[in-house]
């Protein structure tokens, strides 16, 4: 059974909250650097339990060494692991990258899929990664990418009582127009990084503290 947040339902105030957060982060743009769908998929796989800044440091060299899906599919496991070591969990991530590249060649004609059903078949690609690839590489808004920040803030703000990312996504989708879902995800991520910090939220400077049921102000 999925545990649920005890924060009261606050979805009726979503529009006020989102408007204030948009004013705070008017240019909520993705931070991961990439040149094509494959690079974005790999960068997003690397971003698990790692900061975007560190991922960009890793991929700056990685993308110069591996140029296409064949390079990744034929990569040596140990060597690729060393190349991505500083992104953390390098053994699992290198395995996922190589296996995904092989699957892309064998089942998808060498192209990163442009639909949710096929993307989530790839090793290391869940709904979060798939939503990011679809939105940022293909301009397709399928849902909302729920990372740790989006999950935590959705519960703190009373926008979802669920802790399961897929259920949180289903709770958030009806709150705004489909075209806004990518922006909503990035806005919540930025607010989570800058103000609503997990260890010590800065409620005193938060622009939505009066609308937040978890506010300590």
The phi and psi torsions of 143 (rounded to 5 degrees) equal -160, -145
Would residue 161 show up in a list of annotated catalytic residues for this protein? no
Please name the residue ranges forming H helices in the chain: 14-24, 37-46, 52-65, 69-73, 77-83, 90-108, 116-119, 127-138, 148-156, 165-172, 181-194
In DSSP notation, 148-167 reads HHHHHHHHHTTS--B-SHHH
Q: Which of 83, 93, 147, 161 is catalytic?
A: 147
Closest CA to 151 of 179, 137, 170: 170
Closest CA to 168 of 5, 53, 47: 5
Q: Which of 83, 93, 128, 156 is catalytic?
A: 128
Q: How far apart are CA 197 and CA 166, in angstroms?
A: 22
What the block records as the tokens of 5 is 């947040």
The number of CA neighbours under 13 Å toward the Cβ of 136 is 28
Q: How far apart are CA 113 and CA 133, in angstroms?
A: 9
Would residue 147 show up in a list of annotated catalytic residues for this protein? yes
Catalytic residues: 128, 147
């Amino acid at each position: 059974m999925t545990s649920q947040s005890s924060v009261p339902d606050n979805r009726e105030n979503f529009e006020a909250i989102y408007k204030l957060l948009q004013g705070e982060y008017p240019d909520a743009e993705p931070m991961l650097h990439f040149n094509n769908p494959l690079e974005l998929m790999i960068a997003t796989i690397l971003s698990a339990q790692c900061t975007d800044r560190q991922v960009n440091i890793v991929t700056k060299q990685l993308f110069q060494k591996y140029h296409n899906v064949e390079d990744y599919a034929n990569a040596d496991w140990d060597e690729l692991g060393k190349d991505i070591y500083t992104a953390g969990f390098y053994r699992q991530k290198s395995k996922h990258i190589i296996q995904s590249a092989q699957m892309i060649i064998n089942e998808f004609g060498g192209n990163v899929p442009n639909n949710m059903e096929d993307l989530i078949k790839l090793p290391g690609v869940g709904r979060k990664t798939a939503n990011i690839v679809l939105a940022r590489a293909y301009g397709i808004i399928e849902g909302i990418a729920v990372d740790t920040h989006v999950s935590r803030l959705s519960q703190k703000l009373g926008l979802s009582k669920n802790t399961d990312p897929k259920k949180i996504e289903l709770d958030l989708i009806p709150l705004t127009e489909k075209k806004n879902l990518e922006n909503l995800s990035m806005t919540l991520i930025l607010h989570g990084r800058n103000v609503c910090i997990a260890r010590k939220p800065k409620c005193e400077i938060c622009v939505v503290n009066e609308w937040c049921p978890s506010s300590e102000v």
